[in-house]
A and B are shown apart, each in its own frame.
Chain A
Amino acid sequence: MFIADIRKDFYEVVANQRVVLLVAPDIDALCACKILQALFHCDQIQYTLVPVTGWQDLGTAFLEHKEQFRYFVLINCGANVDLLEMLQPDDDSIFFICDTHRPVDVVNVYNDTQIKLLIKQDDDLGVPSYDDIFRDEDEEGEDSGNESDEGSEPSGKRRRFDEGAVERRIERQRAKREWEARRREILFDYEQYEYHGTSAAMMFFELAWVLTKDTKDMLWWAIIGLTDQWVHDKITNMKYVTDIATMQRHVSRHSHRNEDEENSLSIDCMRISFEYDLRLTLYQHWSLYESICNSCYTSCSFKLWTLNGQKKLQEFLADMGLPLKQVRQKFNSMDMSIKENLRDVIEESSNKYGMKDIRIQTFGVHFGFKNRFLASDMVHATAALLESAEKDDSETDTFIKALDALSRSNIDRLHSGIELAKKKLIAIQQTVASCICTNLILSQGPFLYCYLMEGTPDVKLFSKPMALTLLCKYLLKAFVLSTRNKRCKLLPLVMAAPKDVEKGTVIVVGIPPESETSDKKNFFGRAFEKAAESTSSRTLHDHFDTSTNNAENRFLDGKLFLKFPERERCE
């Protein structure tokens, strides 16, 4: 059931209760969790925070807590499966689900008692109407009751009634079969593609705003949640721009308070500002040269894995008049004269080299004298912390570390996250370069396929879903630009990397084909299920994103059996 008034139907319901927060491992969920925690602290609502990495974790956590807790809040998990069937809860457990995964399972939508969806209804959902999917079974019972009544009538009349009854029955059965066929088709259309809706962090920020408890910290977290969706390519450009406009209204409302007083605010206060900044990842915490080499957009436009590409880069820098020595040192130590007009200069030059979108609308934060961050910097740093491949860190530890990095008082952790993110980006670029140069991408009929061997450097980094998805997207972009085969440019990419060497499992990710106007809809969830059936290898569809799953090594042999229905291939 969709919640109409988030304050009355959610916040006031949990106000005097103890809640369990089940949070998925992505940055949007972390930000949403932070906002909700801050709200709970204000009103002293007791809660238990449980990070969950997949469906099994979710089930275990639910079993552990179902005796003591009645209210469960699920962040970025649970909307796209039939939750009641999976968890088998008691009748008094209530689930509040705030999830960006679409399509929302129809059972979750139409359940009135136990499942409450914290999702805006105008969010382009396309849920099939109730009558198309569910049918009252009472009709059948009544008719058969009538028939048995009629059966007790005297035989003469009965024969006449019988013919009519038989005809009606045949008619009913035919209608029922038609209805069921239509229902199957509607459900198939509805559930074949996976995509994402409005950020969960933004939903909770709206809750805070309605309660007038919104602070700049919460606004910043909401912005980071939205930027995470853009960095990891989960929403379309249109949606991103629309959401940025919404956030911009909030930002101006908060900054308006600063500028009102003629006495300026303390330098330690947080200032959020709208920036039309460069698309170079982490450039303010790195050197400009490194950032250009390791950002997907620029690296793919220049084709920096070729010698030609390197030359073009040197030309580009010369065109802008930036001396190499300046460009290679840390951004903060560059000459002020160069830094002043950097954005405009880069935009002008990049237009000449075919990079029309080098600038992107985003937000930056600024507190204290030293600390300036862009939203995308925070996303990369936190993602690197969340998926860091330390041996002695369990997944809960990395989750807590990443959550801490979002607070303003833990700048050290954020800086360590930025360093990890730099290493991750360098690893991604090197892997992309080696894959393209050694032609590791194979065309397997309806899709492209790439398998990272165990000995590849930094392959441990890619045993995590977000890092592997990022690698996958960069690789596809690079491949599309470097191949001459027209047909290959329209194919989706499936990528596999070893997950656990001892157990012999791999993690498999699939992304839709690269296109300018992509609507970011992913069909691999269904495709992987079918492939698993046909190869009978053990797969674990454990991740909340259905386009990622873990499998045995044997699954890869079955890749030949991955067949997609015609309709899906045309996307």
Chain B
Amino acid sequence: MVSFVTARPAPHAAGTICSAVPVGRKFLNTHTKKQTDMDPSEVEFLAEKEMVKIIPNFSLDKVFLIGGDLGPFNPGLPIDVPVWLALNLKQRQKCRIIPPEWMDVEKLEEMRDLERKEDMFTPVPSPYYMELTKLLLNHASDNIPKADEIRTLVKDIWDTRIAKLRLSADSFISQQEAYAKLDNLTLMEINTIRAFLLDTLNCMYKLRSNVQ
């Protein structure tokens, strides 16, 4: 049984279990309605800031961007760049993407087995493992060996964790617990349950307060 102590989501999460900061047009359109959800595409956008290794086939001097410096690029030499740049270069056939270390069949199999054994959430390979898998396997599957198996394994890990999350949320609500501790949850997983959980808790509160 999961024990709920405090709410402490995984690092890099832009939101807590309470409502996230409304972003962009959503804020303008729905300022009368309570914003309790992040769009999955927004989560993917945040995931694209992660770094990944590429091997470029062009050369370019150091580039100074607001978010940080990139480069210099030399053909044939590996370099770390954010995922958004890696995907753009890959689509323009200017680089080869090297899969991250955790995207390996044996390691993922171990993680999946560990996840199935444990009751608690096990540490994740990367705080954005689901988004990175989807992005890299959709655009660069020819650079990643055994891409189909990796996709299946990551989906297995995701399914197990979401099942655990559902179970915990169910017991949280039915047993009317006051607080919950959620280690090692990624933003995407939190996002799937956020709207439902908050609405339910609000309804429960209204029901309880009306009874009195």
**Stretch of A76-84, A184-192, A265-273 that contacts chain B:** A265-273
Q: Are B148 and A213 in contact (CB under 8 A)?
A: no
| Cβ contact of B146, chosen from A42, A215, A263, cutoff 8 A | A263
Contact with A along B92-114 (1 / 0, CB 8 A): 11100000000000000000000
Say how far B160's CB is from chain A's closest CB, in angstroms.
23
CA distance A267 to B148 in the complex (A): 7
| Cβ contact of A269, chosen from B91, B93, B94, B142, cutoff 8 A | B142
Q: Does B147 contact A (CB under 8 A)?
A: yes
Q: Are B145 and A269 in contact (CB under 8 A)?
A: no
Pick the most buried of A42, A44, A265: most chain B CB atoms within 10 A of its CB: A265
Contact with A along B125-153 (1 / 0, CB 8 A): 00000000000010001101111100000
Q: Are A42 and B92 in contact (CB under 8 A)?
A: yes
Chain B's interface: helix, strand, loop or mixed, by majority? loop
CB proximity to B under 8 Å, residues A24-70:
41-44
Q: Does A261 contact B (CB under 8 A)?
A: yes
CA distance A269 to B146 in the complex (A): 12
Residue of B nearest to A212 (CB): B57
Count of A residues near B, CB < 8 Å? 15
CA distance A212 to B144 in the complex (A): 21
Q: Are A263 and B145 in contact (CB under 8 A)?
A: yes
Chain A residues within an 8 Å CB radius of B91:
41
Residue of B nearest to A214 (CB): B93
Say how far A194's CB is from chain B's closest CB, in angstroms.
38
Q: Are B141 and A269 in contact (CB under 8 A)?
A: yes
Q: A266-B137, A268-B141, A269-B141 are in contact. Are A41 and B146 (CB under 8 A)?
A: no
Residue of B nearest to A211 (CB): B93
Chain A residues within an 8 Å CB radius of B137:
266
Q: Are B142 and A266 in contact (CB under 8 A)?
A: yes
Residue of B nearest to A215 (CB): B93
Say how far A73's CB is from chain B's closest CB, in angstroms.
20
Say how far B81's CB is from chain A's closest CB, in angstroms.
18
Chain A residues within an 8 Å CB radius of B148:
266-268
Contact with A along B36-65 (1 / 0, CB 8 A): 000000000000000000000100000000
CB proximity to B under 8 Å, residues A75-124:
none
Q: A266-B148, A267-B148 are in contact. Are A43 and B142 (CB under 8 A)?
A: no
Q: Are B92 and A266 in contact (CB under 8 A)?
A: no
Chain B residues within an 8 Å CB radius of A213:
93
CA distance A212 to B95 in the complex (A): 12
Chain A residues within an 8 Å CB radius of B94:
42
Q: Are B145 and A43 in contact (CB under 8 A)?
A: no
Q: Are A266 and B93 in contact (CB under 8 A)?
A: no
CA distance A264 to B146 in the complex (A): 6
CB proximity to B under 8 Å, residues A245-304:
261, 263-269
In the complex, besides A266-B141, A268-B141, A268-B147, 16 extra interface pairs with C-beta distance below 8 angstroms are A41-B91, A41-B92, A42-B92, A42-B93, A44-B92, A212-B57, A213-B93, A263-B145, A263-B146, A264-B146, A265-B147, A266-B137, A266-B147, A266-B148, A269-B141, A269-B142
Chain B residues proximal to chain A, CB less than 8 Å:
57, 91-94, 137, 141-142, 144-148
Q: Please, could you name 24 A-B residue pairs with CB atoms under 8 Å apart, sorted by A?
A: A41-B91, A41-B92, A42-B92, A42-B93, A42-B94, A44-B92, A212-B57, A215-B93, A261-B145, A263-B146, A264-B146, A265-B142, A265-B147, A266-B137, A266-B141, A266-B142, A266-B144, A266-B147, A266-B148, A268-B141, A268-B147, A268-B148, A269-B141, A269-B142
Which 5 pairs between the two chains have the least Cβ-Cβ distance? A263-B145, A266-B147, A266-B141, A42-B92, A263-B146
